[in-house]
Structure 1
Amino acid sequence: MTSLDRWTAHTLMSDPGQQAEAIAAFPDEAGHLAGIIQGLLMHSSWLAEYGLDTSKLRPAARQTLPIAERLADIMQLDDRPLAQARPADRRSVGTCRDFALMLCAFLRSKGVPARVRCGFASYFSAAWEDHWICEYQNAGTGEWRLADAQIDAMLRRRNHIAFDAADMPRNVFLMAGEAWLKCRRGEAEPESFGHESTTGLWFLKINLLRDHHVLNDRVTSEWDRWREAPQASRQVSQDELAWLDDLAARPDQPLVAHRPDWLV
């Protein structure tokens, strides 16, 4: 398998299952596919913006499901063809990783090399916010582009987003490794990266490990359980810095078998 074949082959997480034939009929263009996804998914943190009750989240809302399961959930809510947008209250509720994984799955189904990436976005708040996007290869130029399928009309209005969400500028989203190295070089403050009130070098490490896992075909991992970590363990020791620097510089290296400290 070549390096590009690796990113067109489905994994258990990206395989669309029974919806493969329907997806094969979709157009190849990432922006068009993102538009279809926006008619299928809702982000659990933005329900109120669409007039939905935030207290009635279903169990699947905060889990990153395999795409076959997520599509089955969508069809159970509304069995119209996937290309038809659902009303907001009949979409499946997930997180940014579900949007990224679904775009990745759709692109792979069209023969386009694609992968999910973990890092930090600058377009949700003044800080760099924990986020997941899809990275795909442009057929014409061969370059890898960034796409955020979550950026719909509401988010554009609310956050004044003007860039092309299917070909994002590299300075609006930083891969976890890029963010880590900027902080290590003193070009950015670790406290400006994180998830809500959890910020700093420790959370940069969390996303660095998660991006490393996803580049080894593991979209989910034990590092997703970071909320279980006691405050005392939320630190980065001096003896970790060298291997984390190397991991940040080469996130696609073979999987480093390193369990979260709080689970060891």
Structure 2
Amino acid sequence: MNYAEQSAYSDPGAHAALLDELPSDIAELTAVIRNLLIHYRGGGIEFTGDRLEEINHRWVEAMLATDQRRNGTPLAAPREPADRIVGCCRDYTLLMISALRHKGIPARSRVGFSSYFAPGFHHDHVVVEYWNGDRWVLLDAELEPAEHWGFDVHDIPKGKFDSAAEVWRAFRAGEIDGDVYGVDPSLPFRGGWFIRNYVFLQLAHLQRDELLLWDGWGAMADDLEMDLTPTDELAALLIASDAGDEAATAKLRDRYREDPDLHPGDRVLVHSPSGTPPTWVDLSTRQKVDAP
């Protein structure tokens, strides 16, 4: 998998020239990314209507188009919080990956759960992993570097973030309480079924299909009333691949291409937190469509 090349989702398209002048220093680059985005739930501003719909920008090209319509200035030029693109962790990650790939640096998104936002709960999260020439480095492009995190957000240590596959394995082994893994303790989007769906998201992102966290397809479900063995096998392959098992990596690639339960295909069902009804989107035309 060539993580130095843009995917359909990370490709800046007509706005590629905007990335030419971005800094190469990782800390400076993440500062630019934070200048472009504001989290739809954690940014301190309540967005509604069309502004809230910005969280459904699936492609970097669309994000940059929105930014340029609103601001029309170089990406490093300061933006007021209210003028930033409304998004979430996935969007901070994808914009950072786009910038890194534009510079020829291999980068990919990692889907899982973080333990550093609130004690006792593991929030769903997407972070960046990039190749620094010697190893894959995990970084959180959303976080302002600060001492209170207790670690370097540009080099996340093991144990602060766990992949969805690792969490699923621990859940199935009875080692964790699935109800403390999800979007938020106050919301019903947590538990075993939620963790399972994120295993499919993890696979898609590693195959360079960096879909929205609320896109649905294939074998995803809001319960665990099915044979869980295939998910166990998938998680085991993902963990082995992360450990450098090339055979597992090849098997994941082939399964993703061939199994319609794993691959989103042409259409996804969007369950947007903006409050709009579930909507089908054609990934090739980038348009809303009727149900298949």
Fold similarity call, TM over 0.5:
yes
Equivalent AA in structure 2 for residue 69 of structure 1: A
What are the superposed Cα offsets for residues 163-211 of structure 1, whole Å, 9 maximum, x if unpaired? Answer: 2111111211111111111222333222221122322111110111111
1:78 aligns with 2:66: no
Q: Summarize the Cα distance change of 1:121–1:76 in structure 2 as closer, same or farther, 3 Å threshold.
A: same
- Residue 3 of structure 2 aligns to a residue whose secondary structure is helix
Shift of the 168–225 alpha-carbon distance from structure 1 to 2, 3 Å rule, reads: same
Partner of 1:162: 150
* Contact map agreement 2:58 2:211 (CA 8 A) in 1: no
122-131 or 19-28, which deviates more: 19-28
**Kept after mapping to 2: 8 A contact 1:42/1:93:** yes
Deviation sequence 1:196-237 (CA, Å, 0-9, x none)? 2322111110111111111122112796249xx9xxx63224
Match status 1:217 vs 2:208: yes
User: Could you tell me whether the CA contact under 8 Å between 1:190 and 1:200 is conserved in 2?
Assistant: yes
| 1:122 alignment partner, SS class | strand
Counterpart code for 2:191: G
Code of the aligned partner of 1:30:
I
1:13 aligned onto 2:1: no
Residues 258, 169 of structure 1: alpha-carbon distance in 2 compared, 3 angstrom cutoff: same
Cα gap change, 1:234/1:60 in structure 2, threshold over 3 Å: closer, same or farther? closer
How does the TM-score come out when normalised to structure 1? 0.83
Q: CA deviation at 1:19?
A: 3.0
Q: Quick one: distance in 1 between partners of 2:33 and 2:66?
A: 14
For the residues of structure 2 that align with 1:238 and 1:58, how far apart are their CA atoms? 38
Identity of aligned residues (%): 30
- Structure 2 distance, partners of 1:85, 1:222, is 28
Stretches of structure 2 lacking an aligned partner (at least 5 in a row): 239-248, 270-290
Equivalent residue number for residue 131 of structure 1: 125
SS of 1:128's partner is strand
2:144 maps to: 152
Give the counterpart letter for 1:248 in structure 2: A
Counterpart position of 1:46: 42
Is the alpha carbon distance of 1:46 and 1:15 closer, same or farther for their aligned partners in structure 2, counting shifts above 3 Å?
Answer: same
- Structure 1 residues 54, 221: closer, same or farther in 2, change over 3 A? closer
| Secondary structure in structure 2 of the residue aligned to 1:39 | helix
Quick one: structure 1 residues 30 and 187, their matched pair in 2 at CA, closer, same or farther if it must change by over 3 Å? farther
- Report how many aligned residue pairs link the two structures: 244
Higher helix share: 1
Q: Residue 257 of structure 1 corresponds to which residue in structure 2?
A: 260
Distance between the aligned counterparts of 1:93 and 1:56, measured in 2? Answer: 11
Find out whether 1:239 has 2:213 as its counterpart: no
Q: Which amino acid aligns with 1:220?
A: L
